Amino acid sequence: MMQVTHAVVGLVLGEILLLSTPLVVLGAVLPDIDFLIGLTHRGLTHSLLFLVLASLLVYKLRDKRAAFSLFIGLTSHLFLDAVTTMGIQALWSLNTFFSFNLTSTNYVPVNIFIIALLAVVYYNKESIIDYLTRVRRGVALKGSMAFTIGWSLLLIASPVIICRGSDSSINSLINNKVLNGMGVRLNGTICSSINPYYSKAGNEYQVFYICDNNESIKIFKGSWVLDNELRQGDVIYLCGTYTTDYGEPEVSYIDYVSLIAD
């Protein structure tokens, strides 16, 4: 659903800023090309380097307006992905994912809220365009540039590891529909083998179960989270997003793992 949100954001921004709407929409969806070309998801194509180089390339091939249109679209995509738990590799090629850690990628209520808000903006676009014209569109465009620089600096300056959510037990999570899509904190013992998993985008994950009081839950952890080599029998504390959307209860989008004991 996030792809739809990106496209709608690009459409609305292109219209109200009187830019090249097709190029804004292209920029709003372009970073996810990493899925198609086999790059690490949210890596190079979600970096500030890609944002700058792609915009400069369009400036060289077309003109300033076209370049800024693509820039606005790319900015919207990177900002929305930075809000999610996985974050983005903003300073590629550093193997660090930066995140504001506010919501999971496919948390439906948040996506619906954003799209609904954009629908209201689009419905009132004539009034917004008139206002922007009166305060000078150049001011709005410069404001957009300042916004990009501001959130980028804030993202990089913020703690890379953010642990949010409610304390939970494995027993309280199992088949709990209320907490689906919410951040949780829990601890337990790794009670299964740790198996590698590679997504279609090339991301490497570790899949295992943790147990507590004869209850277990599946953990789907990015290999970039925690440098330590986890082993079966380790006692760990972790923060992530609880979901029941993939066939069985699991905690994914892991933000933080701490090794408590061997």
Q: CA-CA distance, 250 to 241, in Å (whole number)?
A: 8
Are 173 and 152 members of one domain?
no
pLDDT at 238: 87
Asked which of 127, 157, 187 is the last residue of a domain, the reply is: 157
Q: Residues 108, 141: one domain?
A: yes
Which two three-digit tokens encode residue 187?
């601890």
Q: Are residues 146 and 209 in the same domain?
A: no
Residues 140 and 184 reside in one and the same domain: no
- Looking at residue 227, its pLDDT comes to 56
Number of domains in the chain: 2
Does one domain contain both 52 and 129? yes
136 and 48 within one domain? yes
* Whether residues 147 and 171 fall in one domain: no
DSSP secondary structure string for all residues of the chain: -HHHHHHHHHHHHHHHTTS-HHHHHHHHHGGGGHHHHTPPTTSGGGSHHHHHHHHHHHHHHS-HHHHHHHHHHHHHHHHHHHHBSS-B-TTTTSS--B----B-TT-HHHHHHHHHHHHHHHHTHHHHHHHHHHT-HHHHHHHHHHHHHHHHHHHHHS-S----SEE--HHHHTT-STTTT-EEEEEEEE-S--EEEE-TT--EEEEEEEEETTEEEEEEEETTS-SS---TT-EEEEEEEEE-TTSS-EEEEEEEEEEEE-
Neighbouring residues of 130: CB distance < 8 A, sequence distance ≥ 6: none
Q: Tens-of-pLDDT digits for all 262 residues of the chain?
A: 678 899 999 999 999 888 899 999 999 999 999 878 877 678 899 999 999 999 999 999 999 899 999 999 999 999 998 888 677 888 887 767 787 877 766 667 888 888 899 899 889 888 888 887 776 656 667 777 788 888 888 887 765 545 656 788 888 888 777 777 777 888 899 999 999 988 766 678 899 999 988 899 999 988 777 656 788 999 988 888 888 878 889 998 787 788 875 5
Same domain, 172 and 138: no
Structural domain containing residue 129: 2-157
Residues 136 and 178 reside in one and the same domain:
no
Within this chain, do residues 87 and 113 fall inside the same structural domain, yes or no? yes
My answer on whether 172 and 237 are in the same domain is yes
Give the β-pairing of 183-190 and 166-167.
parallel
Q: What is the CATH number of the domain that holds 214?
A: 2.40.50.200
Q: What is the pLDDT of residue 104?
A: 66
Last residue of a domain, one of 115, 135, 157: 157
Task: Based on the fold, state whether residues 192 and 143 are members of the same structural domain.
Answer: no
Last-in-domain residue among 157, 183, 201 = 157
